[in-house]
Amino acid sequence: MGLFDIFRKTETAKPTEPKKQAEEITSAAPAQQNSQQIHKGDLEKTQSIATLLTVPREERTESWVNQFLADLPLAAFRCGTPQLIAGPDGFPYFQLFVPEPGEEFQSYVIHEMIGGFLVERGYGVVINPGAGQPDWVLTYGDILNYHLNGSFFTLESLFSNSSNTEETVAQGEEVMVGQPSEIILPVQTRKLLKDFFELNGIQDPKVMLMMRKNGEEMSQDLAFNITPESFESEEHYRNMMQTVTWYLPRHYSVVGLHDHHVENGFMPL
């Protein structure tokens, strides 16, 4: 969790990178805030983040992670130059740094950035990137989860949490289909996914929410009309389905399904 190479792909089956190179996408970054906002954010949480980051990585426990994620949204950070960089996964990240003690800086607060532009524009966030491993990475899906649920990660949900992208229905299962609501897949994210799929050669991408009931057990999956036949190889398809999860909260499960298998289920993104 929090590693820059979480969705690193092989060179032979790499989906098209959805954004421009870092030096080209910086023009889309938000304008500088005015001087009256220089101390915006909770400086006590900023100090807490700075203190937490002095703990060696091998000693960062679950308690450390919980405290870090609790302080992260409201802490005050300074941005990097350029504001946006392309990660090794090809996606754009807004880079933030913990300010030095006594440093005067233009303040950026993740909680406000999420509602202001991160969700709409499709950016992740990286904390203290540098020559080595950054201190933390939030994918767009992590940002979206905070926007929807008030936290970067959700541990329990109806999603099946399955890594299997091939759709099968067990004997005795009841299957219901419909469209994901705004609290699952908001309109901004649907547009980003549509652009991503079309950039990778998927024409008329569609989505549906599939709910399953087997006895008393309920689960759900996001289904896209994406199947191996649309790609040059099975590996390319699987990499595509893995890569698309960058846009989604980590507890979501994603499957590919022929759109003609479900009548009146799929709708355009």
pLDDT surpassing 80 at residue 48: yes
State the pLDDT at residue 40.
Answer: 82
Distance CA 3, CA 10 (A): 17
**What residue ranges do the domains of the chain occupy?**
11-149, 174-268
pLDDT at 62 over 80: yes
| Residue 259: pLDDT band with limits 50, 70, 90 | confident
Tokens of 249: 């909260």
Contact 97, 128 (CB under 8 A): yes
Per-residue pLDDT at 261 exceeds 90: no
| Weakest-pLDDT range from 17-21, 59-63, 176-180, 218-222 | 17-21
Token match 């350029």: residue? 82
pLDDT tens, position by position, 147-202: 999 999 999 899 986 555 455 555 556 888 999 999 999 999 999 999 999 998 89
Q: What's the pTM?
A: 0.84
What is the average pLDDT score of the chain?
84
Average pLDDT of span 121-142 = 94
- The helix (run of H) or strand (run of E) holding residue 199 is helix 187-199
Tell me the per-residue pLDDT of 19-31, one tens digit each, with 9 for 90 and over. 443 334 443 445 4
SS (H, E, C) 60-127: CCHHHHHHHHHHHHHECEEEEEEEEEECCCCCEEEEEECCCCCCCCCCECHHHHHHHHHHHHCCEEEE
SS3 letters for 15-67?
CCCCCCCHHHHHHHCCCCCCHHHCCCCEHHHHHHHHHHCCCCHHHCCHHHHHH
Q: What is the rounded distance in angstroms from the CA atom of residue 107 to the CA atom of residue 99?
A: 9
Q: For residue 269, is pLDDT > 50?
A: yes
In this predicted structure, what is the pLDDT of residue 221?
94
